[in-house]
């Protein structure tokens, strides 16, 4: 057991994993994310930080996920996961950025010492870390750099390599490892335990109901394909997948014209499914690390594409939970609420506000998850399809101690308990969320068309504008209003006022040097026009070359 900082070992490994010159790293809403070829030094240093984080928490297991989620295949990234499967505590995000940007080995060693001092960390405290990666070609080399960091700081056994798996599985492993044998035991800490837990809950919830029709699942040519294949073995005869976009061998296919982000941003069917979807038949898309979910179908009257995004999922799930809580005789004893971001469609917000409390927070899972924890049952889904349901300790205790007085109350209570097992409350989970949606649809006997008819989305458009420095764009009011650059918000307001049911906001991307422009309006044409006009304002403000101004922005 080490009693002093292993400075010589850190120095040796740091020289092996030197920081590239003139590159600045920022730990954003999804950790570090950029071209995979730039991340060697960051991975080594995050291995060190993960070990320090575990030591700071008395040896609790910390998670490290190597992924760039929905980004192109050339990108990669890394994020740390705290003991209950939640995102890294915000104060430690600054430590991550602090270590990642040390220009030299001497500066890195000094910064490590500063983190130890500020965190009151005992370097002799054992540390435990579990890590995994997605299917990106750069992943193996980056994991090797991460492992050097874990070894250098003295993580027990050099860490637990969970291999190639989904982000939700990694979060699950962290939570189950830390809760094993406690009153908060979350399940068996293994990938097999994850599948078995979901399968058992699914079978219980579908018992006595007609089996859902086989579901087409677009796996984005990513690790979700492995997850679907592994889980399918646990639910044979109960639930059937028809996986597509499962090519993990051909270079360049990950997230390329496939996956949840493609469906959301292009608002169209992935090309691999063109001509393969029958009218009214629903399908779903995962993203590259299987933590986002998007549903879609072809209208059975017009054969037009219809998207069922995170807002639609939130409305479906929240409504079902309200009904179950009432049917269980627990109305007034469990507070339900929904958390959204500014990207939520205005129609979804109005629909939900008539049924239960709705709160708007800044973009980013850490904000949504924290706000959801304030409710007895908190539902959060970003419009991009990332989300989950959080149950408070008090709610879990109440469900397990509740004494129903009628058969209806008994069934509703049992369903709620099984839902706490089906839902991966640690993080957004495309597989778990898909099963949740299918259970609700089966319970209600809904088709995709009936689900979609709950409310009509306002037409909307999301546009990305590349900028030299995204840090110049600062917001307030849960990111719905710009405070800087000064004067830009007033110009946006003037444009929005020209459109019926118009709404638009601008925020800096959390993952790349870009600004995202969102717009809604009463018609598709108006929403597109408003989005591009606002994008034009941003382009001009950023000093874009007028000669190269995209024609859509005019």
Buried b (16+ CB within 10 A) or exposed e, 24-51: ebbbbbbbbbbebebbbbbbbbbbbbbb
162 is in an annotated binding site: no
Element (H, E) at 43: helix 40-56
Distance in angstroms (rounded) separating the CA atoms of residues 86 and 54: 14
Distance in angstroms (rounded) separating the CA atoms of residues 151 and 132: 16
415 is in an annotated binding site: no
- Give every strand in the sheet of 503-508, ordered side by side: 460-466, 514-520, 503-508
Specify whether the CB–CB gap between 205 and 411 falls below 8 A.
no
245 is in an annotated binding site: no
Measured on CA atoms in the order 162, 143, 223, 452, is the torsion positive or negative?
positive
In DSSP terms, which residues pair with 338 in a beta bridge?
Answer: 358, 379
How do 282-286 and 305-308 pair as beta strands? unpaired
Q: Which residues are catalytic?
A: 69
Specify whether the CB–CB gap between 222 and 253 falls below 8 A.
no
15 is in an annotated binding site: no
291 is in an annotated binding site: yes
Specify whether the CB–CB gap between 508 and 517 falls below 8 A.
no
In angstroms, the Cα distances linking 128 to 51, 133, 194, 344 are 7, 17, 20, 38
383 is in an annotated binding site: yes
289 is in an annotated binding site: yes
Residue 379, token pair as written in the block: 């539902």
545 is in an annotated binding site: no
In sequence order, which residues have a C-beta less than 8 Å from that of residue 501 and are 6 or more positions away?
Answer: 346, 458, 520, 521, 522
508 is in an annotated binding site: yes
413 is in an annotated binding site: no
Buried b (16+ CB within 10 A) or exposed e, 144-178: ebbbbbbbbbbbbeebbbbebbbbbbbbbbbbbbb
Distance in angstroms (rounded) separating the CA atoms of residues 520 and 535: 13
354: left (phi over 0), alpha (psi -120 to 50) or beta: alpha
247 is in an annotated binding site: no
Element (H, E) at 465: strand 460-466
511 is in an annotated binding site: yes
318 is in an annotated binding site: no
Place of tokens 């049924």: 355
Terminal Cα distance for the chain, rounded: 64
Query: Which of 433, 438, 434, 431 shows the shortest CA–CA distance to 229?
Result: 431
Q: Is 377 exposed, middle or buried (0-12, 13-18, 19+ CB in 10 A)?
A: buried
Query: Which of 165, 33, 39 shows the shortest CA–CA distance to 511?
Result: 33
**Annotated binding residues for Mg(2+), as ranges?**
69, 287, 289, 291
**Annotated binding residues for substrate, as ranges?**
382-384, 507-511, 516
**Annotated binding residues, as ranges?**
69, 287, 289, 291, 382-384, 507-511, 516
């Amino acid at each position: 057991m080490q009693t002093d900082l292993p400075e010589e070992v850190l120095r040796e490994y740091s020289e092996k994993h030197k920081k590239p010159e003139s590159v600045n790293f920022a730990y954003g809403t999804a950790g570090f994310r950029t071209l995979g070829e730039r991340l060697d030094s960051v991975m080594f240093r995050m291995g060190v930080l993960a070990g320090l984080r575990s030591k700071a928490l008395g040896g609790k297991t910390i998670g490290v996920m190597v992924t760039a989620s929905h980004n192109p295949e050339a990108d990669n990234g890394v994020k740390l996961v705290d003991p209950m499967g939640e995102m890294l505590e915000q104060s430690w995000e600054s430590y991550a950025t602090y270590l990642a940007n040390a220009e030299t080995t001497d500066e890195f060693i000094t910064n490590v010492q500063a983190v130890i001092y500020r965190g009151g960390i005992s370097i002799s405290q054992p540390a435990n870390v579990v890590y995994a990666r997605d299917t990106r070609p750069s992943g193996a080399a980056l994991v090797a750099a991460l492992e050097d960091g874990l070894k250098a700081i003295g993580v027990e056994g050099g860490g637990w390599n969970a291999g190639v798996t989904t982000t939700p599985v990694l979060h699950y492993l962290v939570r189950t490892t830390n809760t094993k044998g406690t009153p908060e035991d979350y399940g068996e800490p293994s990938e097999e335990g994850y599948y078995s837990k979901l399968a058992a809950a699914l079978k219980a919830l579908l018992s006595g109901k007609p089996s859902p029709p086989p579901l087409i699942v677009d796996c984005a040519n990513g690790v979700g394909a492995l997850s679907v294949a592994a889980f399918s073995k646990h639910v044979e005869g109960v639930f059937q997948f028809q996986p597509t976009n499962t090519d993990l061998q051909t270079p360049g296919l990950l997230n390329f014209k496939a996956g949840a982000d493609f469906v959301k941003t292009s608002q169209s069917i992935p090309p691999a499914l063109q001509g393969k979807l029958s009218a009214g038949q629903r399908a779903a898309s995962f993203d590259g690390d299987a933590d986002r979910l998007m549903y879609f179908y072809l209208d059975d009257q017009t054969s037009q594409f219809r998207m069922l995004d995170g807002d639609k999922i939130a409305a479906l799930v929240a409504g079902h939970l309200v009904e179950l809580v009432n049917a269980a005789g627990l109305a007034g004893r469990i507070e339900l609420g929904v958390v959204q971001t500014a990207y939520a469609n205005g129609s979804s917000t109005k629909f939900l506000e008539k049924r239960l409390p709705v709160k708007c927070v800044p973009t980013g899972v850490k904000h949504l998850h924290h706000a959801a924890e304030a409710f007895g049952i908190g539902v959060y889904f970003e419009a991009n399809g990332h989300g989950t349901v959080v149950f408070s300790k008090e709610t879990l205790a109440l469900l397990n101690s509740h004494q129903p007085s009628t058969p209806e109350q008994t069934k509703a209570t049992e369903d709620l308990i099984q839902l706490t097992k089906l839902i991966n409350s640690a993080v957004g989970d495309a597989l778990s969320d898909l099963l949740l949606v299918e259970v609700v649809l089966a319970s209600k006997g809904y088709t995709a068309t009936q689900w979609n008819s709950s409310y009509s989305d306002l037409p909307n458009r999301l546009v990305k504008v590349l900028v030299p420095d995204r840090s110049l764009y600062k917001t307030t009011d849960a990111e719905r209003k710009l405070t800087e650059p000064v004067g830009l918000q007033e110009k946006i307001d003037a444009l929005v006022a020209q459109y019926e049911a118009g709404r638009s906001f601008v925020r800096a991307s959390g993952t790349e040097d870009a600004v995202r422009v969102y717009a809604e309006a009463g018609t598709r044409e108006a929403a597109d026009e408003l989005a591009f006009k606002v994008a034009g304002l941003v382009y001009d403000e950023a000093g874009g070359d007028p000669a190269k101004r995209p024609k859509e922005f005019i």
